[in-house]
Amino acid sequence: MAKQISEGRKGAYYAGMVLMGIGGLMFLSVFITGAMNFGNFDNFESDARSSMFRAIGGMVLLFIGGAVRGIGAAGLAGSGVVLDPEKARSELEPYSRMAGGMIKDAIDESDIKLGSEPEKVIMIKCRECGKLNKEDSKFCQECGKEL
Ligand SMILES: [Zn+2]
């Protein structure tokens, strides 16, 4: 249990959730008050302005909240804010442990492939002795027979 999600990240996650909640309510309230004031054009101009403000403010809060929550959940590197694959891996580590190491396995696997993929070598089998020879070789390494 060396690596755990830090308190700061947990805090960011919940703060993001709260921001998203407020943003969502602000956004929804536009429709609710819009429906309530339907047909009432006495304060049309100020209503429209407040609706605009709440709609845009709500969307901005939703957006920021979502971003903050994502950072809290996956860490700065893990959520792609900081491009640092090594850090991302360690920040996502708690999740890979939760998923029974499946994600970690996938990352490890992809690392191996990203590392040094051996070039595909085509070999020719000698018809006499069965020795595998390089594609461009003219004679068998083992028995000297022409390939
Ligand atoms: Zn041979």
**Ligand 1 centroid from CA 68, angstroms:** 66
Domain map (residue ranges) of the chain: 7-115, 122-147
Distance CA 122, CA 135 (A): 6
Nearest-angstrom CA–CA distance, 70 and 92 = 12
Residue 126 Cα to ligand 1 midpoint, Å, equals 5
For residue 139, what are the β-bridge partners? 146
What is the three-class DSSP state of 123?
A: strand
Q: Cα(100) to centroid of ligand 1, in Å? A: 49
User: What is the distance in A from the centroid of ligand 1 to the CA of 145?
Assistant: 6
Q: How far is the CA of 124 from the centre of ligand 1 (A)?
A: 10
Report the alpha-carbon distance of residue 103 to residue 105 in Å, rounded.
Answer: 5
- Over residues 88-110, the pLDDT tens digits come to 777 776 665 655 555 555 556 55
pTM of the model: 0.47
For the stretch 2-30, pLDDT in tens is 456 677 778 888 888 999 999 899 888 88
